[in-house]
């Protein structure tokens, strides 16, 4: 799993590419930590190119969202979840917990 960072003004987009599971989720955590360290507070995680995501990865996203909101006065929003991930989000009802947008532009614009 790769993380591509796209900084758009005050909003930082982390585009995940590949499969996010218990073995690869640490790369996401490290990428977020690096961006927060550099001052990023408005994050978007783009899931468009994620081929698989399990509950460990979702839990990590939830934890990162909580950290951004509670510890850094910021937020973490999601965009572009593919069908497999939409199903997992629906089953766990975490789709109600995250701010999820259909695509990157909408997620970035939501911060404006």
Which stretches of the chain bind other proteins, using CB under 8 A? 19, 21-23, 52, 54-56, 58-59, 62-63, 83-84, 87-88, 91-94, 97
Alpha carbon of residue 7 to chain centroid: 14
Strand intervals (E) in the chain: 2-8, 11-20, 42-53, 75-79, 100-101
Instruction: Quote the DSSP letter at residue 70.
Output: H
For residue 60, the minimal CB distance to other proteins (Å) is 8
- Separation between Cα atoms, residue 83 and residue 95, nearest integer Å: 13
For residue 23, the minimal CB distance to other proteins (Å) is 3
Residue placing its CB nearer to other proteins in the complex, 40 or 60: 60
For residue 59, the minimal CB distance to other proteins (Å) is 5
For residue 84, the minimal CB distance to other proteins (Å) is 5
CA terminus-to-terminus distance, the chain: 29
Residue placing its CB nearer to other proteins in the complex, 38 or 90: 90
- Separation between Cα atoms, residue 88 and residue 7, nearest integer Å: 28
Residue placing its CB nearer to other proteins in the complex, 19 or 75: 19
């Amino acid at each position: 799993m790769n993380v591509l960072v796209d900084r758009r003004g005050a909003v930082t987009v982390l585009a995940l590419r590949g499969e996010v599971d218990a073995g690869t989720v640490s790369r996401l955590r490290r990428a977020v930590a690096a961006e927060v360290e550099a001052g990023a507070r408005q994050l978007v995680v783009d899931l468009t190119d994620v081929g698989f995501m399990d509950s460990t990865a979702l839990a990590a996203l939830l934890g990162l969202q909580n950290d951004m909101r509670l510890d850094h006065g910021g937020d973490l929003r999601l965009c572009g979840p593919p069908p497999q991930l939409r199903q997992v989000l629906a089953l766990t009802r975490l789709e109600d917990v995250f701010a999820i947008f259909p695509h990157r532009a909408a997620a970035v614009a939501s911060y404006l």
